[in-house]
Amino acid sequence: MSMEAGIGVMGTKLGMMTFFEPDGTVVPVTVVGFREGNIVAQVKTAATDGYDAVQVGYRRVRDRKLTKPELGHLEKAGAIPMRHLQEFRLQSVDGFEPGQRLVVEDIFKEGDLVDVSGNSIGKGFQGGIKRHNFRRGLMTHGSKSHRALGSIGAGTTPGRVYKGKKMPGRMGGTKTKIRKLKIVKIDSELRVVMIKGAVPGKPGNLLRITPAKIVGKNIPKN
Amino acid sequence: MLVGGVSRRWVASVVRSAGACRYASAFPASQLFVLYSQENTLHTHRELIRSHNWTLKPQITGNIPLLRSLMTMGQQELSSGQESSVASHETSQSQRIKFKRLDKTAKHIMNILDNEAVDKVQTEREIPDIRPGYIVQLKVEVPENKRRTSVIKGIVIARRNAGLNTTFRLRRLAAGVGVESVFPLYSPNIKEMKVLDKKKVRRAKLYYLRDRMNPLKK
């Protein structure tokens, strides 16, 4: 597993709007809100678990919605019942204790670059043209193949279809990461962060926001 | 009980604040609720949120309905006495934590952000009402290494409302050629806007003017 460049937070996509920079440039921004959460639930160290990570929870729920093992796990850290738990694997885990609240303003500031990952919008079973950007055949001139795949392999040699051949299938609904997005504005009162550009999913989607992994910041060869 | 019953019925007649004061009573926010009603103004959205301890999303019951009701209704005439009686009756059964649907709170916050941004620009610059058929003169600052050029005068042929991103199309004769430009209404580049004349039109989008190059300043 690869490491993160720093501790991240989880957020909820709220929607998109425009933002006017002072010099008049129009920037499309995604508004990311934060529900009650982002509390450290467990700190894993190399001594106890074999790797260093910080487990963070998000989104408070009713007691009845979690199983007793999950509730017990969170109570051990003294945290509220939370639905989502994600780990951030770091190089050093000093400075994090169970039950610590992560404040977005401390971790990120305006102008930072972040990676945002989340579940993309599901598109269902899709054909080759939409899924893999294949080109379609002629629509007229006697052609019988419009949106079909075309050829899927060679002849007697090899006599089979290669694994990984791009074919129709389910598209979307998977974890996608968008790299190097700029934070345009952080609003402490509404607990909202504005990120330039688009992020995966629809409004209400869970997002995982981490500092961008750029070669200068990361260890080149682990 | 009678007092509680009466006040509950009375309160229910006020749209949606019934739910609000039933639940808000259990928390100190009720004090603030009364405070706002007495002051009788629609405070800015941020102040409302600030008063309810920033737990905007998964809320102790009543803060979101409280917020919604305060925003939709300008005036509340509740006396603190009635409210507290309702409070004591209902406290026992309303300790649940209530959650709003994710996309509803999302839209709520988006609206707040949008309205705030619009209000901010409104207070900074005076933006007149611009409708299709108006002849408008703008002072636009083009940031391509020039300052304060472009006094642009033309007729508004379309207006598209989208909150902060409201845009309008201006058609003018620039150097003998008809030019249409789209301007964001709240852009910081538009330094000044003046309405010169208002023509009577019977349409919202005046695209038919493209075929009629009437030399009357179109």
Note the pLDDT of residue A77: 86
Which domain range does residue B153 map to?
A: 102-209
Say if residue B24's pLDDT is above 70: no
Provide the CATH number for the domain around residue A14. Answer: 2.40.30.10
Within-domain flag for B186: yes
Backbone torsions φ then ψ of A214, nearest 5 degrees: -115, 145
Most confident of B6-10, B66-70, B90-94, B130-134: B130-134
- In terms of CA atoms, which chain B residue is nearest residue A37? B58
* Nearest CA-CA distance, residue A31 and chain B, Å: 8
Report chain B residues whose CB lies below 8 A from the CB of A61.
Answer: 58, 99
Note the pLDDT of residue B20: 38
Give me the residues of chain A with pLDDT under 50, please: none
Provide the CATH number for the domain around residue B163. Answer: 2.30.30.790
Say if residue B80's pLDDT is above 50: no
Q: Tell me what percent of the residues of chain B surpass a pLDDT of 70.
A: 49
Question: Average pLDDT of B124-140?
Answer: 88
Question: Average pLDDT of B94-107?
Answer: 65
Within-domain flag for B137: yes
Mutation target for A interface from B53, B57, B59, B96: give the one with most A CBs within 10 A.
Answer: B57
Within-domain flag for B87: no
Question: Average pLDDT of B26-48?
Answer: 42
Q: Which helix (H) or strand (E) holds B19?
A: helix B17-24
Within-domain flag for A128: no
* B120-132 b/e (C-beta count within 10 Å ≥ 16 → b): ebeeeeeeeebeb
Within-domain flag for B89: no
Cβ separation B113–A61 shorter than 8 A:
no
Note the pLDDT of residue A161: 93
Those residues with Cβ within 8 angstroms of residue B210's Cβ, 6 or more apart along the chain or in another chain:
B171, B178, B180
Of the candidates B56, B112, B189, which has its C-beta nearest A24's C-beta? B189
Q: Number of structural domains, chain A?
A: 1
Tell me the ipTM for this assembly. 0.72
Q: How far from the centroid of its chain's Cα atoms is residue B202's Cα?
A: 28
Note the pLDDT of residue B177: 84
Say if residue B38's pLDDT is above 50: no
Angstrom distances, CA of residue B194 to CA of A61, B53, B125, B175: 53, 43, 12, 22
Of the candidates B102, B106, B164, which has its C-beta nearest A18's C-beta? B164
Within-domain flag for A74: yes
Kindly state the DSSP code that residue A93 receives in the 8-state scheme: -
Cα distance from N-terminal residue to C-terminal residue, chain B: 71
Report chain B residues whose CB lies below 8 A from the CB of A27.
Answer: none
Q: Number of structural domains, chain B?
A: 1
User: In terms of DSSP bridges, do strands A82-89 and A53-60 run parallel, antiparallel, or are they unpaired?
Assistant: antiparallel
* Nearest CA-CA distance, residue B8 and chain A, Å: 28
Within-domain flag for B189: yes
Within-domain flag for B190: yes
Q: Which of A205, A210, A59, A204 is nearest to A120 (CA)?
A: A205
Question: Average pLDDT of B159-171?
Answer: 90
pLDDT digits (tens, 9 = 90+) for A171-220: 999 999 999 999 998 988 888 899 999 999 998 889 999 988 887 766 65
Instruction: Answer yes or no: are the C-beta atoms of A10 and B177 closer than 8 Å.
Output: no
- Separation between Cα atoms, residue B62 and residue B67, nearest integer Å: 8
Which domain range does residue A105 map to?
A: 9-122+172-211
The model carries a pTM of 0.70
| A&B contacts, CB < 8 Å | 83
Within-domain flag for A130: no
